[in-house]
Structure 1
Amino acid sequence: MNVALWIVAGVLAVLFGMAGVMKATQPKEKLAEKLPWVADVSVGTLRLIGVSELLGALGLILPAVTGIAPILTPIAAAGLALIMALAVVTHARRKEPSAIVFNVVLFAAAVFVAWGRFGPYSF
C-alpha cells in the first residue's frame, strides 16, 4: 500500500505542479483559450489557485522525501482535495460535466493519499 500511495502522490504532484505553474505564470487571456472558467475569476484568484496547487504538489513529495515535517504530506493532500471540491462546484455551476469528472478523480486520489498518510501508512 505504501508503494501505491507514493505512486498516486507522485502522479498528483506532477499534475498539480504543471497546472500550478501554468496558472501562476501564464497570462489570463492565454489560459482562457484552454480553460474557459478562467474568464469567471480575477487574475489574483487565478494566481492564488496556481500557487496553491504548486505548493500542494511540492508538499506531497518534499516533506516525505526529506523527512522534514512529514505531517505536511497528508495536509497538502487534504488541501488539494479541498481545491478539487471547490473546482467541482465551479464546474457544476458552469455545467461542464467532463471537467467535473476529472476533478472528482483528482479529489478521490488526493483523499486516498491524505487518508493513507494520516492513518495506517503515515511516516
Structure 2
Amino acid sequence: MLVALWILVALLALAFGAAGVMKLVRPRAALVDGGMPWAADVAPGAIKAIAALEVVGALGLVLPLLTGVAPLLSPVAAVALAAIMVGAVVVHVRRRESAVPAAVLAGLSIVAAVLGFVVLR
C-alpha cells in the first residue's frame, strides 16, 4: 500500500504543483484567456494565494514522506488540498462551469489522505 500511496501522492503533487506555479507566474488576464474564466471574478491577490496554497500543498504531500520527518503531515496536506478543491467545485458550480476536474482532484486527495492515514498509523 505504500507504493500506491507514493504513486498517488506523486501524481497529485505534480498536478497541484504545476497548476499552482502556472497561477503564480501568469497574470490574471492570461489565466482568463487560457481557459480559466473564473479568474476574471477573483481578485489577483486571491488567485496568487490559492496558487501558493497549491504549491505548498504539493510540497507537503511529498516532502514529509521523502524525508521521514513528520510523515503524518502528508495526509494532512492531502486533506487541505481536498478542501481547496471543494471550494473550487463550489465556484465552478455557481458559475455553471464544469466542476469535474476539481471534483476528481478533491476525490483523489481524499483517497490519498485516507491511504496515508492507514499506511502511516
TM tier relative to shorter chain: over 0.9
TM-score by length of 2: 0.95
Q: Runs of 5+ in structure 2 lacking a partner? A: none
In the TM superposition, what is the alpha-carbon distance from 1:26 to its structure 2 partner? 1.1
Paired with 1:84 and 1:17, the residues of 2 have a C-alpha distance of 14
Q: Secondary structure at the match of 1:83?
A: helix
Question: CA RMSD, aligned part only?
Answer: 1.0
Q: Which amino acid aligns with 1:115?
A: V
Residue matched to 1:122:
120
Percent identity of equivalent pairs: 47
Distance 1:96 1:45 in 2: 20
One-letter code of the match for 1:122? L
1:20 corresponding residue in structure 2? 20
Secondary structure (helix, strand or coil) at the match of 2:75 reads helix
2:32 and 2:85 map into 1 onto residues whose CA distance is: 19
- The normalised TM-score by structure 1 is 0.93
- Output the amino acid matched with 1:108: G
Shift of 1:108: 0.8
Q: Secondary structure at the match of 1:121?
A: helix
> Does the alignment pair 1:50 with 2:51?
yes
Aligned residues: 120
**1:55-86 CA distances to partner (integer Å, 9 max, x unpaired)?**
00000001110011212101110010001100
Q: Pairwise mapping of residues 1-12 of structure 1 onto structure 2 (< 5 A)?
A: 1-12=1-12
Please, which moves more after superposition, 66-75 or 36-45? 66-75
Q: Which runs of 4+ in 1 moved over 2 A?
A: none
1:75-90 aligned within 5 A: 75-90=76-91
